[in-house]
Amino acid sequence: MEQKQPVKRKRRWGDRYDGRRLRSLDAFSRVSPYIMVTRNTSSNHFMDTIDIDEIERYIRHKRNDDGLVGFGIMHVLIAAYVRSLSQKPAVNRFIAGQKIYARNSVQINLTVKREMRSDALETVIKISPELDATATEVYELIKKEIDLSKNNNQSDFDKTAKILDYIPGLLLKFAVWFLKTLDYFGLLPKKLEKLSPFHGSMFITSMGSLGVPPVFHHLYDFGNIPVFCSFGAKQKRNELQADGSVIERRYITVMWVMDERICDGFYYSSAMKYIKGVLRNPFVLDERPEQTIEDVD
């Protein structure tokens, strides 16, 4: 089926380089960022369990048949989330300067270790998949960024953090205030926004790789990330069936922290249900969606 192309819009007064201001929202939505000022005081917490039997079958297929070494649950979750944004675009909004914007792109942030050792240094990578990206494309983007971070002694993010670390405390406090002010008015340099771990559609972290349960991770009041996802280690459960038999199922627990100001609870719940629907049949992530839906004006 021919894919519906997104409408090309001209930039209008009040738009930012990273998003367009939404003007057709109801009055309460437009006022709420002035009442609920910060992301952490405006966040909702949601815990869910996901049956991973079909996901693990899909992972085996990608590793064995497609040759994607290291393909795992992280890649599937990110690909499913990107797919949900193609159908539920309001979840990709953000708050800046007390205004609500539709983000112009998809940006996923994740923390990775340079080596699989407990004492290995961590860095943050950011990928920008297209809305119609497949799981393989998400995998390739992540692999590219991880390879770059391993081959270089320091990523651009690490270099920037090191520069800030050289600034004395009082001056650093002023520097951060200045950057926040620039960001408030949409004047933060694009290069800084591109490498910033505090700007993006979602931040995701795997606690399962550490063998511990997930946590409700706070949102950042600097930047504009509206959603934080944390998932834990695999769990086994014995479940009683209707015929009296017992079968073993495998699950992961996923914790979501979401900025409630960007869309209402019904919309968020429909997006979460969509993600679970994709995860019940992750093989759909090998195909592109029939269409991508654009956010309201």
Query: What's the pLDDT tens digit per position in 141-161?
Result: 999 998 887 777 666 677 777
- Angle between helix axes 53-64 and 135-151 (nearest 10 degrees) is 70
78 SS3 class: helix
CATH entry 3.40.50.720 includes domain 19-286: no
Whole-model pTM: value is 0.92
153 CB-near residues (< 8 Å, 6+ apart): none
pLDDT value at residue 149: 78
Structural tokens at position 122: 């961590």
CA dihedral (177, 182, 186, 190) positive or negative: negative
pLDDT exceeds cutoff 90 at 284: yes
Task: Count the neighbouring beta carbons within 10 Å of the beta carbon of residue 193.
Answer: 20
Are 46 and 258 spatial neighbours (Cβ–Cβ below 8 Å)? yes
pLDDT value at residue 2: 45
d(CA 79, CA 261): 24
Count of helix runs (H) and strand runs (E) in the chain: 8, 10
Are 40 and 216 spatial neighbours (Cβ–Cβ below 8 Å)? no
Q: Model confidence at 212, in pLDDT bands (50, 70, 90)?
A: confident
**C-alpha angle with apex 135: 129 to 140, nearest 5 degrees?**
65
pLDDT value at residue 150: 77
Residues pairing with 3 in the sheet: none
